[in-house]
Amino acid sequence: MLGWVVADQAYRAYVDLAEGKLTDLRKAVVNAIALAQAADEIGIGAVVLLGKGEASAGGRNKPSILSDTLEAVFGAVYLDGGADEAHRVITHLLGPRLADAINRLGVLDHKTSLQELSARTFDAPPIYTLREDGPDHAKRFFAEVHINGVSWGAGEGRSKKMAEQAAAEQAWLALSANSVGNTVG
């Protein structure tokens, strides 16, 4: 249901967009990171029922739990109110993300963009190193990305994936700026 609603909204709003770009737009909104952010914005973590262990380990803030819970809420709305009501709720919560994503369509997945640029520029893949800090209930992840042994970016986030994406974005921007001046290589 979730994928269909977002695809429907993207198709209706951006009729001239190529099929592949529509798919990229849908993926920018229907993914664990975007759903966790939306769930966090409406405060789902505060009301989700968790076992003692997960609650004490900070489960209310874990992106995987937040995104899964939001998907469950969408499913419950569909079962209780039908397709039209589910469409309305999903559009209300995720519609603004769709409009936001259209402006970033070229760099929605920074890791993929960096990998492509790295392959063209260095003929080498980016390598990520990760570390984590903090107690289980408030864990922070830190990533650094190297290409040919040179650090190009660093990032942090509440999950490994978020930290790697942040590092990849920083590296992509730095590498793109260097490529313009032809000083890379």
Beta carbons of 89 and 4 less than 8 angstroms apart: no
Compute the 3-state secondary structure of the chain and give helix, strand, coil in percent, each to the nearest 5.
65, 10, 20
- The listed CATH number (1.10.10.60, 1.10.1520.10, 3.40.47.10, 3.40.640.10) that belongs to domain 2-106: 1.10.1520.10
Q: What is the pLDDT of residue 183?
A: 42
Q: What is the pLDDT of residue 185?
A: 45
**Which two structure tokens, joined as six digits, stand for 166?**
């942040």
Q: What is the pLDDT of residue 106?
A: 57
Q: What pLDDT tens digit does each residue of the chain (185 aa) get?
A: 899 999 899 888 888 888 888 888 888 888 887 898 899 999 999 999 999 998 888 889 888 899 999 999 999 999 999 999 999 999 999 988 888 887 766 555 788 888 888 998 999 999 999 999 988 878 899 999 999 999 999 999 888 888 998 899 899 888 887 765 444 44
Phi, psi at residue 155, to the nearest 5°? -155, 165
Comparing C-alpha atoms, which of 28, 56, 62 is closest to residue 141?
62
Q: Please list, in sequence order, all residues whose beta carbon lies within 8 angstroms of the beta carbon of residue 65, skipping any fewer than 6 positions away.
A: 45, 48, 50, 54, 59
Q: Where in the chain is the domain with CATH 3.30.160.20?
A: 110-180
> Can you say whether residue 149 is alpha, beta or left, with left for phi > 0 and alpha for psi between -120 and 50 degrees?
left
Between CA 99 and CA 61 the distance in angstroms is 26
Q: What is the pLDDT of residue 27?
A: 84
SS3 string, 68-79, reads HHHHHHHHHHHH
Q: Where in the chain is the domain with CATH 1.10.1520.10?
A: 2-106
Class of the CATH domain delimited by 110-180: alpha beta
- Can you list the pairs that 12-17 forms with residues at least 24 positions away whose Cβ atoms lie under 8 Å? 13/98, 13/99, 14/102
